[in-house]
Amino acid sequence: MTLDLSTMATAASIAMDAFSVSVCMGICHGGLGRRDALTLGGAFGISQFGMPLIGALIAANITGFLNS
């Protein structure tokens, strides 16, 4: 059950995209400071990074279960 480079690259690119969009939305929201905008961006970035990895691990487990 290993994660290949393409899965890691996809997860990283989605996380960077979500982070940048979240930071921009947080800054444009007027009432949020830089720290709040970075916190919002970090939360979205981390969750978007983890979702493809979790999906790959679940798919690998299901594939192993179905093949046995």
Kindly report, residue by residue over 1-51, the tens digit of the pLDDT. 566 788 778 888 888 888 888 777 777 877 777 888 788 778 888 888 888
Spell out the SS3 assignment of 31-59: CCCHHHHHHHHHHHHHHHHHHHHHHHHHH
Please give the model's pTM, rounded to 2 decimal places: 0.60
Determine contact, residues 26/32, Cβ cutoff 8 Å: yes
CA–CA distances in Å: residue 63 to residues 28, 41, 49, 58: 44, 33, 22, 9
